Chain A
Amino acid sequence: MSEAILSALGALFEGARFLFSQGGPNLVMIAVACLMFWLAIAKDVEPLLLLPIAFGCLLVNLPLSEVMHADGVLRTLYDFGIGNELFPLLIFVGIGSMTDFSPLLANPRLLLFGAAGQLGIFITLLLALALGFSKEEAVSVAAIGACDGPTVIYVSNMFAGMERIPTAMVGALAVAAYSYMALVPVIQPPIMRLLTTRKEREVKMASPRGKVSKAALIAFPIVVTAITGIVAPKGLPLMGMIMLGNFMKVTGVVPRLASAAENEIANIATLFLGLAIGGTMAGPQFLTRETLMVFGLGLIAITIDTAGGILLGKLWYLLSGGKVNPLVGAAGISAYPMAARLVQTEGQRWNKHNYLLMHAMAANTGGQIGSVMAAAIMLSLLKGLGII
C-alpha cells in the first residue's frame, strides 16, 4: 500500500523532476513566454497576437506537456489551420475588410511607395543566403521584411509542410514578424530623421483630390486580384483573400459577411493561429543560433524597408521640385495603420501645419498590397525556378 502511494506521489513530481534535470531550455522559454505576457499586457505590444502566442509557448514548454503530441490540442489546431495555411488566409479576409483603399485610389502614384517598402525583403534574402541559410529558409526570413505576420506564416509554413525548413522556425519567424511590426514606432523615427533634412520633413503636401466613386472602389479589388492571378498565381490565395474581404466591405450588399470577416472570423483565426504558433516554440527546438539570426535579420529587413521608402521619397522630392514629403515613403510598409500615423506624427513634429495622414494612408495601403505582391512574386519565382 505505502509503495503504491509513494509511486503515485512520484508521478505527481515527475514534471518537476524533469524540469530541474533536463528542462533548462523549457525554463528559458517559459521566461520568454512571461516576457511576451509583459509586453502584451503592460506595454500593449500587439496583444491580440502576442498573448495567445505566449500562452501557447507556455503550454508547450511546461514539463512533459503533450499539447503538441499527436492529437494534442495545439497539434490539432496546428494541423487544422496552420499546416494547410488556412488561418493566415482567414485573417487576411478580415484585414481586407478593415482596410480603406480610397486614399490610394485618390492618389494612385503613392502605390509605388508600397514597392520601395519591400526592398528589405530582397536585400535580407541575400544576407540570409550569405549567412548560410538554405534557399527556403532565406525566403522565409526575408518575408519578415513584408512587415506582415500572416504573410510570413503563410510563406514559412508552406516550406515547413514540405519539410524544407524546421517547424520550430515558423514560430521564431512569426514572433519576430509581430514583434517588429509592434516596434515600428521605435524603429522608424530614427531612420526617418537620419535620411531626411529638416527642409524635406517640413514639406506640406497638397490635400487629396476628393471623394473616390463607389464604382472605382468596387472595381479595385477585382482588378488587383486578376493581376495577381496572372502575374504571380502562387500568391493568389494571399491577395485573393485580402481583396475578398475588401470587396465584401465596399459593395455594401453583405454587411453581415463583412462584419463577420472583420470581427468573428478574424478574431477566432487570430486566437487559434496564435496558440498554434506558440505551440511550435518548444525550448529544445526553438533555442538555436538560427533563431537569434532570424531576429537580427528581421530587424535589418524592416530598417531597409523604411530606408527604401524614404529614399524613393527623396527622389520624388527632387523630381517634383519639393512637392512630396519624403517621410511619406516610410509608410510604404504593411504595418497598417501604424506606419501612416507615425508619418503624420513625425511630419507635425517638424511643421505643425502639416497634414500627411491621407498621403501616408495611401502609401500604407500600397505597402499592404506591395508586401503581399512581393511574397506572391517570390513564391511564383521559386516555382518557376523549380525550387518548389
Chain B
Amino acid sequence: MNNTVFGLTMLIVGMGGTLGTLFLITLIIRALCLFFPVRPGAGEETK
C-alpha cells in the first residue's frame, strides 16, 4: 500500500471512525440519562 492510499484511508476511516464512535457514545449517554435523569435545579454548583 503506497503512502497516499494509506494516509487517505487513515484520514477517512480514522476521522470517520472517531466521529462515529463518539456519536455512538453520545447516544448511549442520552439513553443513560433517560434511566438516570439529570436532576434539575442543582446546576448552580457547576458555575
Q: Which residues of A contact B (CB under 8 A)?
A: 102-106, 108-109, 111-112, 114-116, 118-119, 121-123, 125-126, 129-130, 135, 138-139, 207-213, 215-216, 219-220, 223-224, 227-228, 231-232, 355, 357-358, 366, 369-370, 373-374, 377-378, 381, 385
Contacts and interface: CB of A to CB of B under 8 A. Distances in A.
Residue of A111, A122, A139, A207 with most partner-chain B CB within 10 A: A122
Contacts of A219: 32, 36
A232 B8 CA distance: 19
23 contacts: A104-B29, A105-B32, A111-B22, A111-B26, A112-B22, A122-B10, A138-B3, A208-B43, A209-B38, A210-B40, A210-B42, A210-B43, A211-B45, A212-B36, A213-B36, A223-B28, A227-B21, A227-B28, A232-B17, A366-B22, A369-B22, A369-B25, A377-B17
A309 to B, nearest CB: 12
Contact of A112 (B15, B17, B19, B40): B19
Given A207-B47, A210-B40, A381 B13 contact: yes
B42 A377 contact: no
Contacts of B24: 227
B46 A231 contact: no
Interface of B: 1, 3-4, 6-11, 13-15, 17-19, 21-26, 28-30, 32-33, 35-43, 45-47
Nearest to A106: B38
Given A122-B11, A231-B17, A381-B14, A211 B22 contact: no
Dominant SS among interface residues on chain B: helix
A198 B6 CA distance: 40
